[in-house]
Amino acid sequence: MTPNFVATGREVHAPVGLVYTPPETERPTCYASHADELIDRMRRAHTLVREQLGVAAVRNKRNYDMRVRPQHYSQGQWVYYFNPRKIQSRQDKWRRKYQGPYRRQYTLKAAVELISSLL
């Protein structure tokens, strides 16, 4: 399944098709049947692509999860706070997204830490 087939519903003839005679194909008898066949081919192609993208997403997630390691911070350790705020009409490229240092106090929930400022 090539990207061209997914986009157009048919394969492109390569230069080999110009050198050799192309295989005999049936000509559509009417436009309605040709349109129905094209719609059916496109739906099957898109279903196949959607299934393959799902398989690839599961594989990429598994590979990513094998490499990622959780970070554990002890009480009293100095940490930085990641705060990616968006400010309208301001360029985000050069902005500092980390604030701190802060001292870690304790864990409130699984992903929520209480931090206190230096002051």
Q: Taking the alpha carbons of 95, 98, 102, 106 in that order, is the dihedral positive or negative?
A: positive
Whether pLDDT at 18 is above 70: no
95: which residues sit within 8 A by CB, 6+ positions away? 87
Domain ranges (residues) in the chain: 3-67, 71-86+96-119
pLDDT class of 47 with cuts at 50, 70, 90: very high
| Least confident span in 22-26, 55-59, 103-107 | 22-26
Specify the pLDDT at position 57.
97
Report the candidate in 27, 20, 22 with the shortest Cα–Cα distance to residue 11.
22
Q: What is the pLDDT of residues 86-104, one digit of tens each?
A: 888 888 888 889 988 999 8
Q: Are 99 and 81 in contact (CB under 8 A)?
A: yes
Question: What does the CA dihedral 14, 20, 23, 27 come to, rounded to 10 degrees?
Answer: 80
**Distance between CA atoms of residues 12 and 3, nearest Å:** 11
**Distance between CA atoms of residues 18 and 14, nearest Å:** 7
For residue 22, which phi and psi values (nearest 5 degrees)?
-70, 155
